[in-house]
Structure 1
């Protein structure tokens, strides 16, 4: 092949991002050159009509452009990043354990995406949250049990694809047993292959059997399988295991390549070439990188690196052709879906969140409670999305008082003094992972003040000693907050 041919193949594999709520000129020009498509983020989204106009703008240049987004429901939302998702996330659905409900919720998510022109959903996350201290998965997981996660993974895939949106099961071969965030470093899952097969791979097998059109790689290291490489760059993980042993024939997409777990020591262009050589077909990058300015130079540098890798023999020409062809097969499936009538979804999110709420202990009188919200930041995947039950409680309890504290400087004395004998409701996320948050709840309870913890993150095994009640919402979306408010107040 000529360099022109190779560049055309390389461009078809790339899915970068761009800033703004309309496509910049350079982004449209790249599509015209043959770019595979784009991934949309919260900063690309203002309201549904604007998103529909944006995707139409992109498809006016390339009708079969792949347009993706991370719309997991719950804590990770792009369409609803300004106000929070109307659907609970995976942890809540796993807690309810009704696969038909999971299918309905993901069908509703798929209908919303398709209505605005987004046809690839970078979801569901099918990681098994083995580690309570996992900083990046948590409530994005359906649970700890491989069989439970597997059946809900299959239901989520079915719901999305019934709406004509390609599902993307992630993060292969499983990010749930890590205690590090691959946005910042390379996490390790140091287990034998038989453990991986009996635990992490079970939901991926179910997603494959359900017909998932895409599987996303995780930037995680499994020494027995990938050696020192992240799975994204590992032929043993992607070619031998995923395709050879597990029989997957659909498209493989990378998680964002600017994440330090994959490109921290190599840079983006070199990492992209290695990912394609390992078995990836579509490359996602630019969610954070585009904040530094237009990505056109980086895209061209990446194409140059891919062509150079082919010429050096590092990336076989037939592997690049195969990658581009799998992307084209995905486009073919999407174009063949035709018109899809949206399913009836009224109240499905609220109902699911209500069924997920779990209350332990006895709720004290909260009529004049001090409501303390601990400012617990979300991870990069979640972003800056509104969360918490505090405004809802304050609105419904005329005599209540609110107080906001930071998770790493929460002071027990300040809270107990402000409470002055009243009940205290502490609202927090992943309390078990933050020592000062744990100490706050237990310190207030130890002072004799009736204390309730509303846990809106992952409900770990830890429980606050001395607390009157523990309320688990299994997520921090607005519907979770509404459900928690109803549980706390009895209406």
Structure 2
């Protein structure tokens, strides 16, 4: 049994946001909830369906009515609610291609309405990173694109949509993760741009988000050398206190990216990272949902408490964070009007199409191949077989080396070959053998592969697959 916590202990605990596995509240977290745990972050295993997610959130609040419930629901390929069937929302990348701010607003308002009805307070979205390199390994379709202007406008529309639906938006990964080639889940990226260039190209979407009233900002695990040449932004007082709070005048919640990520030392150093993040000015510590969360919470709590007792971590900073977290739920309210749902046909004009991509009703041979998903996305259902069948095209699904591929018209759906050399080689072999095949690029564009008959769809969520199927059957 946990011993009673002091008021200061509860203040420390108010900054924690762990996760856990499954759709039932585990025993280890119940005492923490009862003693003032600030937040819980939900992941795919917590939300197998809407009914289970609602019951879980109700159970969480039975132990702590004020707990802030967050989720990493970005829309598109990064989803926790629609893992089994694929998301009913498009990727930011395709929305950026469409460049219709009203469409982006409607998409995020609809998603926000679902989150609010489930009882979720805040979602870690939208991504405000501007992709600077075509082969960025981690941002890709999670971004609205490679144009600072497009990203900025659509981030603002997404924030408005979510927050008008009554759900807090949390832009990420401040101060901008798009200008790197490293994946911070594994390595610590360094950005060596001048401050003027970095601000104009990568910080600007965050600046506009702050001016738009965004609820929260997630700090990335990356070194932006123009702001702090030594420390990752997530552990840097120069970035959080001096720049984000001081220069950009942000007064909302500052959330860390997952503290178990390799860029800042991984799980073994999570307690140290938690203390450093709070010392730098973070309000909410995201522990992710992997590994032994009970140990992470206990070790981090003890480590931070020792720092507070010794005077290493001032209590006034913790108290300010606690006030922001406690007051958040009372200030974020539903304020939107009902809007039309997103029609998948609205997405078609965002595709890049070349050659002949139309099919008559009948049977085709279908190959679906992709590389290993990123940690951020995880394993989510994708492909074209269900959607093609829904429009009258029956599919025989084959491996890419099957000898029977020539028996019918061939359709090849793939994604993210730009970061997988063997996959790219397989696609080139298929194109060489079947030059009339239709290829569907359902990830961040693999520009080095440009077959004659091609749809670049900028994502693989279910609604995007529907739009591709509608285009293929277009007359």
TM bin, normalised by shorter chain, reads over 0.9
Where does residue 314 of structure 2 map in the other structure? 316
Instruction: Give the match's secondary structure for 2:465.
Output: helix
Counterpart position of 1:434: 420
Q: Which residue of 2 aligns with 1:363?
A: 357
**Superposition deviation, residue 124 in structure 1:** 0.6
Distance apart, 1:399 and its partner CA: 6.6
SS in 2 for 1:170: strand
Change (3 A) 1:150 1:399: closer
Deviates more, 1:324-333 or 1:122-131: 324-333
Mark the CA change 1:341 to 1:178 in structure 2 (over 3 Å): closer, same or farther.
Answer: closer
How is 1:14-25 mapped onto 2 (pairs within 5 angstroms)? 14-25=16-27
Matched residue SS, 1:87: coil
| CA-CA distance at 1:316 after TM superposition | 2.3
Q: For 1:53 and 1:448, how far apart are their aligned partners in 2?
A: 51
Verify: 1:274 aligned to 2:276, yes or no.
Answer: yes
Aligned to 1:303: 301
1:252 equivalent in structure 2: 254
1:394 and 1:402 in contact (8 A); partners too: no
Return the alpha-carbon distance in structure 2 between the equivalents of residues 168 and 225 of structure 1: 21
The match for 1:403 is: 398
Which residue of the partner structure matches residue 468 of structure 1?
Answer: 452
Map residues 16-55 of structure 1 onto 2, 5 A cutoff. 16-55=18-57
Matched with 2:338 is: 343
Give 1:395 shift. Answer: 6.2
Q: Structure 1's 212 and 398: CA in aligned 2 closer, same or farther, altered over 3 A?
A: closer
- 1:216 paired residue number: 218
Match of 1:389 among 384, 394, 398: 384
Q: CA deviation at 1:453?
A: 1.9
Q: Cα deviation per residue 1:36-79 (whole Å; 9 max; x = unaligned)?
A: 02001110112212212211122222222100001111001111
Q: What is the distance in 1 between the residues matched to 2:314 and 2:7? A: 14
What value does the CA root-mean-square deviation take over the aligned residues? 2.2
For 1:188, the equivalent position in structure 2 comes to: 190
Q: Secondary structure at the match of 1:68?
A: strand
Q: CA deviation at 1:396?
A: 5.2
Question: Cα offset for 1:168?
Answer: 0.3
Taking the aligned partners of 2:356 and 2:306, their CA distance within structure 1 comes to: 66
Question: Does the Cα contact within 8 Å between 2:128 and 2:155 map onto a contact in 1?
Answer: yes
SS of 1:420's equivalent in the other structure is helix
Secondary structure of 2:126's match? coil
For residue 167 of structure 1, report the CA deviation from its aligned partner: 0.5
- Cα separation, 2, equivalents of 1:332 and 1:212: 15
The answer to whether the Cα contact below 8 Å between 2:73 and 2:125 also exists between their aligned partners in 1 is yes
Aligned match of 1:408: none
Measure, in 2, the Cα distance between the counterparts of 1:192 and 1:265. 32
TM-score, normalised to structure 2's length? 0.93
Partner of 2:369: 374
How big is the shift at 1:434? Answer: 1.9
Q: Distance in 2 between matches of 1:66 and 1:358?
A: 41
Equivalent residue number for residue 175 of structure 1: 177
After alignment, is 8-17 or 43-52 more displaced?
43-52
Deviation, 1:213, is: 0.7
Between the aligned partners of 1:71 and 1:380, the Cα distance in structure 2 is: 14
Stretches of structure 1 lacking an aligned partner (at least 5 in a row): 406-413
Secondary structure in 1 matching 2:181 = coil
What residue in structure 1 maps to residue 60 of structure 2? 58
Q: 1:477 aligns with which of 461, 464, 468?
A: 461
TM-score, normalised to structure 1, is 0.90
What is the aligned counterpart of 1:127 among 126, 129, 132? 129
In structure 2, the partner of 1:457 is: 443
Counterparts in 2 of 1:298 and 1:364: CA distance versus 1, 3 Å: closer
- Equivalence map 1:229-248=2 (5 Å): 229-248=231-250
1:289-346 Cα offsets, whole Å, 9 max, x none, are: 2xx4xx3343222111112223444422222222222212323313xx2x66772443
CA distance in 2, matches of 1:398, 1:354: 19
Contact 1:111 1:343 in 2 (8 A): no
Change (3 A) 1:399 1:258: closer
- 8 A Cα contact 1:87 1:349, kept in partner: no
Instruction: Tell which deviates more after alignment, 395-404 or 43-52.
Output: 395-404
Deviations 1:204-226 (A, max 9, x none): 01110110010001111223323
Residues of 2 paired with 1:349 and 1:172: CA distance?
A: 32
Q: Secondary structure at the residue paired with 2:412? A: strand
Mapped partners of 1:249, 1:351: distance in 2: 39
What is the correspondence of 1:320-335 to structure 2 with a 5 Å cutoff? 320-334=318-332
**Secondary structure in 1 matching 2:180:** coil
Q: Would the aligned equivalents of 1:74 and 1:475 in 2 still touch at CA under 8 Å? A: yes
Whole-angstrom CA distance in 1 between matches of 2:146 and 2:396: 37
SS at match of 1:332: helix
